[in-house]
Chain A
Amino acid sequence: MIADQPDVLPARHHVEFVMGMAVSIDIRDVDVPETAVDDVVAWLHHVDATFSTYLEDTPISALGRGEIDLEAAGDEIRTVLRQCEDLRIESSGVFDVFEVPAPNGTRLDPSGFVKGWSIEHAATMLEQHGCLNFCINAGGDIAIRGNPAPGEPWRIGIRHPDRADALATVLVASHQLGIATSATYERGAHIVDPRTGRPVTDIASASVVGPDLTLADAYATILFVMGVDGLDWIAAHDGYDAYVITHDDTTRWTEGFQRYREASPKP
């Protein structure tokens, strides 16, 4: 489309199994520094070693058991928990990492925040390495930058909740975007409403898009708990939009979500 824009090659593609999931890193820039993917992979393993609630010997597990205090837990954990507390207050307790049954037997589990946060940070790391066009998909939560090829938008399928091999819809986007989907079809009824302590099963799938995957991921969890009424809560956040699939296979979305639909006119 633009004459002096260089061809974009599928320059570096890597799938790392970490944090109990697969993280797909798809960089489309021509020149990708050798260390870019290595640094991101090292970061993800560092996050796992710090925040995993499946492992007994992580700082977050020690903090949850009360063996260390926040001071000893370090800056990263303090920063994460501070943001989690902000989200808890803002969501009137719907998002609460401080009172959940964790795999390590404690009640502290910020995993639902850490995934989006760590991938957003990984995207920033790639940008610092000079990467402009890439997609990181961490177990279904996605951070994109730029374009997959010159003049082409990224095309992001949202999985159908009842069929693993089918799509419910396709989003079209360029430049910086986070996309997160919250649902129970992969891991059973694992999303608990902290206000009732009971698993939430009102809607089949909740997807949130916005500039920062950290927030999109947390908002998707909040929306899943709030149900269809949560669409208004999402819409009140500038730059964030949502798409919900209910159990009777109907779909609802925020007004701004339309901009990501194929049929919407180009700006």
Chain B
Amino acid sequence: MASAPKSAAPASSTPVQINGEAFSNKFGPVQVQATFAADGSLTSVDAVQTPYADGKSVSINNFAVPRLNSEALTAQSSQVNTISGATYTSNGYRQSLQSAIDIAVANGITTVAAGA
């Protein structure tokens, strides 16, 4: 449902900011802005408009919670705000749980359930 910012950065000698299309999720209006450096690399992503969200959470069902030893994480205990892990590169970030959380937070969702 999210309209992602355009992925292709325009050729330019100065940093460029592109606003994604504003859209509404169930919490209200959302708009994301991406900033590209002069060389076309993505330098930052911001939510320029976010709805109010009172501790609402969303499930990202593709992310499975492991059953590690006796630590069977319940769905409730897998609600997270952020992820600690080995230092990832900028590219690694794009595939990380943290990036999924950032997208959720930018969309006004304050707690993310990793796992069903």
Listed in ascending order, the chain A residues whose CB lies under 8 Å from chain B are 7, 9-10, 13-17, 20-22, 24, 26, 28, 41, 115, 135, 137, 139-142, 144, 148-149, 152, 154-161, 163-171, 179-187, 205, 207, 245, 249-251, 262
Contact = CB atoms under 8 A, between A and B. Distances in A.
25 contacts: A9-B52, A13-B46, A17-B41, A17-B42, A21-B89, A22-B98, A22-B102, A26-B105, A28-B110, A41-B44, A137-B82, A140-B85, A140-B86, A141-B87, A142-B84, A156-B83, A157-B83, A157-B114, A159-B97, A166-B64, A166-B114, A166-B115, A170-B78, A171-B84, A186-B92
A251 B72 CA distance: 13
B65 interface: yes
Contacts of A142: 82, 84
Contacts of B84: 137, 140-142, 156-159, 171, 179-181, 207
Contact of A168 (B43, B64, B66, B101): B66
B100 to A, nearest CB: 9
- Interface residues of B toward A: which range? 35 or more
B86 A164 contact: no
Contacts of B99: 15, 22
Nearest to A159: B85
Interface in B28-79: 41-47, 50, 52-55, 62-66, 68-69, 71, 73, 77-79
B68 A15 contact: no
Contact of A184 (B41, B52, B86, B93): B86
Interface of B: 41-47, 50, 52-55, 62-66, 68-69, 71, 73, 77-90, 92-93, 95-99, 101-102, 105-106, 108, 110-111, 114-115
A22 B88 contact: yes
A169 B98 contact: no
B90 A21 contact: yes
A167 B93 contact: no
Nearest to B67: A166
Given A13-B50, A169-B71, 11 more contacts: A15-B46, A17-B41, A155-B111, A156-B80, A163-B64, A165-B62, A167-B65, A179-B84, A185-B85, A205-B86, A245-B68
Looking at chain A's contact residues, is the secondary structure mostly helix, strand, loop, or mixed? strand
Contacts of B62: 165
A137 B83 contact: yes
B88 A167 contact: no
B110 to A, nearest CB: 6
Given A22-B93, A251-B71, A165 B86 contact: no
Given A149-B110, A170-B77, A115 B87 contact: yes
Contacts of B108: 10
Contacts of A181: 84-86
Contacts of A167: 65-66, 73, 78, 80, 83, 97, 114-115
Contacts of B101: 24
A41 B35 CA distance: 13
A154 B63 contact: no
A263 B86 CA distance: 25
A158 B97 CA distance: 10
B82 A187 contact: no
A144 B80 CA distance: 13
B65 A156 contact: no
A7 B54 contact: yes
A185 B95 CA distance: 13
